[in-house]
Amino acid sequence: MGQSPPSKFYNRNGEGLFFIQGNKEFQDLYVMPEIYTSKCNKTAPENSVLITVRAPVGNVNLTLQEICIGRGVAAIFHKDNDFLKNRFCYYILRGLEDYIMSFGEGGTTYESITKKDLENIQIPLPPPDEQSRIAAVLSWFDDLIENKKQQNEILEKTAMALFKSWFVDFEPFRDVEFVYSEELGREVPWGWEAVTLKDLTKDIFSGRGKYAIDEKEGKYPLWGANGVIGQAEKYDVDGFAILTGRVGTLGKVFLVEGKFAVSDNVLAAIPKEEWVTFYLYILMKTQIDYESLNVGSTQPLITKTDLGNQLSLLPPDSILQRFHEMVEPLFRKIINNEKEIMVLKRARDALLPLLVFGKLRVEAIE
């Protein structure tokens, strides 16, 4: 079980170990901490399973390296710290997530589970060799998903580097005349305009959450502030949109294409022209201080009006079209990877309960 050090030891400058005390930094597979601590009482080894023991109870992730764990999580790892058997434990807990969540009803101040609760969870246990084979099959899906996510990070960073070179540092335009923009408070190439974000969009809106239905019956993805949260009977968007969280989680930005619905926790910005799409996406992801837009008192909140009124630099159409032509192949590959990731996740999620509960056996791996 984790034990939180005093907050005075927390830092963001890399001093000590990564620190986590809840599911805020949980990803699809690996936890990605953002905070360090120079003092640590309890650690989770590399490749161990993390499980949240305070609300929400039962979420699981894996560690990429040794990290410090706080009171909101516990670490579980095989006695030999065997990679595949740790993975098997992770998949077992994924399969039992709903069951484990029901343990939390006995908490007092917090919805929580104890070390004893965890130790007494009964699990299906195939022979050791089959544990490894089950973990190997499911890991194939997760590792392929992670590889595609890493590809997308590299592709997006390449597009962002070009954006910075052109529209922040103005490197290709050093030989043109520069003028001072009162609105932006800086010198910009002559002929470039200061506009608002709404000038770059057809519309900015949030959903109503009314389209969410059972995943088996749904037809269209329903996007929330952290990604797809379910299915929808109808769609709000047909084409490109840039999504950002408007309640609670601020500053997460997604580029999405297709037919989909958005929840009321999301703001969707529809590009004014197709060739503005990738410029607008990178602009919204790198150039807007979302925390400064927070008008909520008890909960972070941004409005479509405040987002739409954000000032932006607008280059001439010919330059935007050239930028679009250069980065479009990168984003097309990203979008294709995202579609493949969704297919892989569905296949993994369908196989996981069949394998870990013995309804489908893995007798050999060629």
The CATH number of domain 7-123 is 3.90.220.20: yes
Residue 179: strand, helix, or coil: strand
Contacts of 182 (CB under 8 A, 6+ apart): none
Q: What is the pTM of this model?
A: 0.82
pLDDT in tens, the chain (366 residues): 999 999 999 999 999 999 999 888 898 899 999 899 999 999 999 999 999 998 888 999 999 999 999 999 999 998 877 889 899 999 999 999 888 877 655 544 447 889 998 999 888 899 989 999 999 999 999 999 999 999 999 999 999 999 999 999 999 999 999 999 999 999 999 999 999 999 999 999 988 766 666 555 668 888 888 788 888 888 889 999 999 988 766 678 999 999 999 988 889 999 999 999 999 999 999 998 877 776 655 566 788 888 899 999 999 999 999 999 999 999 999 999 998 998 999 999 999 999 999 999 888 777
Sheet of 253-262, strand order: 201-206, 266-271, 237-245, 253-262, 220-224, 227-232, 212-213
User: Which one, of 128, 116, 146, lies nearest residue 53 by Cα?
Assistant: 116
Q: Which CATH architecture does the domain made up of 147-324 adopt? A: Alpha-Beta Complex (3.90)
Where are the domain boundaries for CATH 3.90.220.20 in the chain? Answer: 7-123, 147-324
DSSP annotation of 5 = P
Measured from the Cβ of residue 108, the count of other Cβ atoms closer than 10 Å reads 6
